[in-house]
A = this chain, B = another copy of it.
């Protein structure tokens, strides 16, 4: 079974807006066992909608049309779809009543052009829009289905998943194949090293593995096929287990998990408190950690110590150490981590100091040189790295490296293989 996606909007063909609907809808179709025949984007033009629709119907059992359902004159999708099938338009009083109620609830003045959003082709089944005002609809022609939904991303995604796919499934029956997908998130190994390791494990039965570089991480996308969801799920689990056996140390999480979320959970679970001293990362580490609700339970403070004076005052690093070894040095990094821990009276101190660039490098310490340190009551760990990226990317990979150091420490009780 094939499905096509038709996107409607001048803002898309004019390149003024990035389409983020079709990849989501395509993935949902793919996971439900539908092949995607094609994705077509056309402007707000009746003839173009008709042309795209015919092209897709020639190659698909179902078509999802997104966009052009608003109240203004350039919203032509409903009329264009009706014209393509020679269907008359009629007002749905029930939808109109609900629409007016919605405007009242949100204290938006009703203007007559909004009635347009209650007009549908004859014979259409109305698809409810739980996230916005414009309802969608689905029509059947010659054994094929055309579903029309709004183009607003939140609404389009939700309606595709909650209204259109069930409607397709009801009409065509469930696909004879289901897919399940899991993302495996790694940090600290190169893509080629991961590729090599996975290749040596041989292909997994009915599970494909895709590689996606999401700086500074590598994500593996595992897609398992099966006669039904439980068969696909079992195959997926088996593959994940095998990959975890080989690469587990570098896997910080799955699907939507973030390294800051994982670190926060571990800190809360173990009841540890944390203080952070950041030079080159400039606050990015605490920014990431404080995105997690409940971070005030473990984060005592962060110090963004851009000047030497602040390293002395906020962390107690002796000025003579900075003078002797430099602000970017193993000695300073270690004293930063220890100092922030002692001043904040926390269990753990984490520190970064480096040269993010573009200037400030020297022959001995080139741009991209960063020292990381982690201190607890018994020991201070330190490691030097060198990153060949631009300023923002040096900050990003450095914050990731520091969080990974903390994750390893929380899981293994030590930081590196030393």
Q: Which A residues lie at the B interface, using CB under 8 A? A: 11-20, 22-30, 35-43, 48, 51-52, 55, 59, 210, 212, 221, 276, 278, 281-287, 289-291, 293, 295-296, 299-307, 309-310, 313-314, 343-345, 356-360, 391-392, 395
Measured in the bound complex, the distance between the Cα atoms of B276 and A395 in whole Å is 19
Q: By the criterion CB–CB under 8 Å, are B293 and A357 in contact?
A: yes
Contacts of A11 in B (CB 8 A): 210
Q: By the criterion CB–CB under 8 Å, are A303 and B302 in contact?
A: yes
Min CB distance A255 to B, Å, is 14
Contacts of A357 in B (CB 8 A): 293
- Please, which residue of chain B has its CB at the minimum distance from the CB of A5? B41
Say which residue of B51, B283, B345 sits within 8 Å of A283 (CB atoms). Answer: B283
Contacts of A43 in B (CB 8 A): 36
Contacts of A343 in B (CB 8 A): 313
Q: By the criterion CB–CB under 8 Å, are A13 and B40 in contact?
A: no
Measured in the bound complex, the distance between the Cα atoms of B42 and A28 in whole Å is 17
Measured in the bound complex, the distance between the Cα atoms of B299 and A285 in whole Å is 17
Copies of this chain, complex-wide, total 2
Given contacts A282-B287, A301-B307, 15 further A-B contacts (CB under 8 A): A13-B35, A14-B26, A15-B29, A18-B20, A19-B19, A36-B43, A37-B42, A38-B52, A282-B283, A283-B283, A293-B359, A301-B309, A303-B303, A310-B344, A313-B343
Measured in the bound complex, the distance between the Cα atoms of B395 and A210 in whole Å is 34
A18-B12 contact in complex given A51-B59, A303-B303, A391-B291, C-beta closer than 8 Å: no
Measured in the bound complex, the distance between the Cα atoms of B292 and A359 in whole Å is 12
Q: Which one of A28, A284, A302, A360 has the highest number of Cβ atoms from chain B below 10 Å of its Cβ?
A: A302
Measured in the bound complex, the distance between the Cα atoms of B10 and A35 in whole Å is 10
Q: Which one of A55, A283, A313 has the highest number of Cβ atoms from chain B below 10 Å of its Cβ?
A: A283
Say which residue of B38, B295, B314 sits within 8 Å of A42 (CB atoms). Answer: B38
Contacts of A299 in B (CB 8 A): 304, 306
Measured in the bound complex, the distance between the Cα atoms of B295 and A358 in whole Å is 11
Say which residue of B30, B39, B285, B345 sits within 8 Å of A41 (CB atoms). Answer: B39
- Please, which residue of chain B has its CB at the minimum distance from the CB of A311? B301
Q: By the criterion CB–CB under 8 Å, are A26 and B13 in contact?
A: yes
Contacts of A391 in B (CB 8 A): 291, 293
Q: By the criterion CB–CB under 8 Å, are A36 and B23 in contact?
A: no
A284-B283 contact in complex given A13-B26, A304-B304, A307-B301, C-beta closer than 8 Å: yes
- Please, which residue of chain B has its CB at the minimum distance from the CB of A304? B302
Contacts of A302 in B (CB 8 A): 282-283, 302-304, 306
Contacts of A301 in B (CB 8 A): 303-307, 309-310, 314
Min CB distance A399 to B, Å, is 9
Q: By the criterion CB–CB under 8 Å, are B304 and A221 in contact?
A: no
Contacts of A28 in B (CB 8 A): 15
Q: What 10 A-B pairs have minimum CB-CB distances, sorted nearest first?
A: A15-B27, A282-B290, A283-B283, A302-B304, A15-B26, A283-B286, A301-B310, A39-B41, A13-B36, A283-B287
Measured in the bound complex, the distance between the Cα atoms of B193 and A365 in whole Å is 52
Q: By the criterion CB–CB under 8 Å, are B23 and A17 in contact?
A: yes
Q: By the criterion CB–CB under 8 Å, are A304 and B286 in contact?
A: yes
Q: Which one of A38, A59, A278, A357 has the highest number of Cβ atoms from chain B below 10 Å of its Cβ?
A: A38
